[in-house]
Amino acid sequence: MTASRSGYPFSAVVGADVEAPGGPDPMALALILTSISPEVGGVLVRGEKGTAKSTIVRALAAVLPPVDDHEARLVELPIGATEDRVLGSIDLESALAEGRAEYQPGLLVKAHRGILYVDEVNLLHDHLVDVLLDAAAMGRVTVERDGVSVERDARFVLVGTMNPEEGELRPQLLDRFGLTVEVAAPRDPALRAEVVRRRMAHDADPESFAAAYADAEDALRARIAEARKRVGDVRLSDRALLRIAEVCAAFEVDGLRADIVMARTASAHAAWQGRDDVVLEDVEVAARLALPHRRRRNPFDSPGLDDDLLQDALGEDDLEPDPEPEPDPDPDGPGPGSDSSDSSEEPGRSSDAHPPRCKPPDATGEPDAEAPGAGTTTAAAAPYRTRLLTVRGTGTGTAGRRSRARTETGRRVGAERPTGSGGALHLVETIRAAVPHQHGRGRVAGRLLLRPEDLRVAVREGRESNLVLFCVDASGSMAARKRMEQVKTAVLSLLLDAYQRRDKVGLVTFRGDRADLALPPTSSVDVAAARLEDLPAGGRTPLAEGLLEAAKVLELERIRDPRRRPLLVVVTDGRATAGADAVARSQSVAVWLAGTGVASVVVDCESGAMRMGLARVLADHLDAEHVPVGEVSADALVAAARGRAA
């Protein structure tokens, strides 16, 4: 935890007026709205590196209303934090010395009435993301563990930042964040120059730089404080609530969380603008901040909104407050001011006024076959659920969902002496190790006497994430439309599986007379899917070059991340036609690669009645698992197994 901040004024990052000409700064506005109403559920800031994401979040603490005459606390949650550190646990000193189970607060409780900031939240373990999002939504932390049952207030402003190139959050976790914004560096040279000028002025004299923005900071702080007082009294009319529901229905968002978040955000924006009632502008702002990430149905979809659909769903008529009921002097006649046109007017829009948009079907008029070397491109079909491919043995890598490993999470299988700084203390085994030595240490009564050699940490077994490196044959023998579609669909499905299992992925392709690293290993499977989609096919088959390029990538990654075990997935029909002695060279390289101990899988793409079986031979040389492309699907694997049993 740290209470320090950058010292860079909030107003210097976003401008003295958050709502400058050209529209409000989305990131600044989202942060302010969730500060006004923390029940919104926090802000996720997505953007490329070097866009001042961390700077503006740390600067936010200085413009929030003070807590007990002190600046609002900023608590940073490191991505390597354990669950005990986040939630809290028993105080071991009190437990061992005095026999009392006393609760020691975690980071969530310490962030109460302040800001909880998670940089690189996409790299945080999923179960920890769930924990902090639950606390942000409930405003409380409940701990039931180690004989302790406590509840503590944890009402904080949750802010997460991430670089999408390093991997996405899963859609169900994205949905738990109230608001999301996309940030990018300005492309205007004048704006870029001004950013650099301000940064250099701050570094040269931080105090003078901050003093220049003191009035703007004070005004912003006062406005946020006033909006916090006002937000509870803002009226959300039935018409406004119905319009929110219509917008969410138009975008087909799942569940009702989006409706609730939009209602709270619209009320916070109305309070920010000094209004007593929610108007159409407030609903539109709420939609632009609360819906983009909830449109992400598939892991490979990009967040975003269809602006035309949004405008159609919002309509043009503003939202009037609900009228006060008036007594009708003549029960049998029309009420005062009534009009036949008013009685038939609907406050919302027809549900089928704007049918859901869909992409046009792919063109199918192209020829099914192209000459080898032509470089044709074929799209993949919809991905399917794949069989589980794993690395043999037990690893020690980062927690994930693929291969068996000793990890920080998972079932407890034993205890051992600590070998480093990591590991959770195994209290029972520590006491058990210390008990036989109490007489020798001179203990007659009183507290247990412990020594460093008594300490034991839990050994847990779970699953790890791996580096899945795809080595894909894109030669002419793969260029037939149906075969390449089947190959791309299989690889896309395996990419989806890697995304769900939190793996890193890389992509090597080979065709013609060379192999290329199409995608260096990354946690962003979205980029891998895009590279796969654009992959052309044609030309000869340089199989040996593909294997050598894969070996080079794996060796470099072994140096960069030695704990992450690799899984090489070679997708080919096994042919080798590029260069002299192509078959012998590819077999020699395969045997050498197997000798390095790399776990491999060969996805056999050969089809037709007459098969040469070259991919199976390659699998033997690689000491790899052989998987026909038709059995990559988990359902196909089950069907094949049942067929063999019958």
What amino acid occupies position 87? Answer: L
**Residue among 134, 164, 136, 140 nearest 152 (CA):** 140
- Type of residue at 278: V
The vertex-188 CA angle with 185 and 44, nearest 5°, equals 25
Which DSSP string do the residues of 244-291 spell out, in sequence order?
Answer: HHHHHHHTT-SSSHHHHHHHHHHHHHHHHTT-SB--HHHHHHHHHHHS
Going by DSSP bridges, is the β-strand pair 467-473/536-537 parallel, antiparallel, or unpaired? Answer: unpaired
Asked if residues 168 and 299 have their Cβ atoms less than 8 Å apart, the reply is: yes
CA dist., res. 460 & res. 423, Å (int)? 9
Instruction: Give the whole-angstrom CA distance, residue 244 versus residue 499.
Output: 33
Residues forming a β-bridge with 566: 467
Q: What is the 3-state secondary structure (H, E, C) of 451-472?
A: CHHHCCEEEEEEEECCEEEEEE
DSSP state of 385: P
Count of H-run helices and E-run strands, the chain: 23, 19
Closest to 587 in 3D by CA, of 611, 616, 608 = 616
Residue type, 138: M
**Concatenated DSSP letters of 145-207:** ETTEEEEEE---EEEEEE-GGG-PPPHHHHTTSSEEEEE-----HHHHHHHHHHHHHHHH-HH
Catalytic residue among 257, 387, 481, 558: 257
| Distance, CA of 332 to CA of 343 (rounded, Å) | 16
Query: In the beta sheet, which residues pair with residue 119?
Result: 161
Coarse DSSP helix, strand, coil percentages of the chain, rounded to the nearest 5 percent: 40, 20, 40
Closest CA to 289 of 318, 314, 256, 258: 258
Region of residue 81 (phi > 0: left; psi between -120 and 50: alpha; otherwise: beta): beta
The token pair that represents 468 in the structure block: 């899945």
575 is annotated as an active-site residue? no
Q: Which residue has the tokens 């002496």?
A: 417
Question: Rounded to whole angstroms, how far apart are CA atoms 270 and 278?
Answer: 6
Amino acid at site 434: A
Region of residue 88 (left: phi > 0; alpha: psi -120 to 50; beta: else): left
Using an 8 Å Cβ cutoff, are 407 and 460 in contact? yes
The CA-CA-CA angle for residues 361, 366, 368, to 5°, reads: 110
Q: At a CB cut-off of 8 Å and minimum separation 6, what does 378 contact? A: 481, 484, 485, 488, 537
Burial 365-375 (b: 16+ CB within 10 A, else e): eeeeebebeeb
Q: Which two tokens stand for residue 367?
A: 């020829």
| Residues acting as catalytic residues | 257
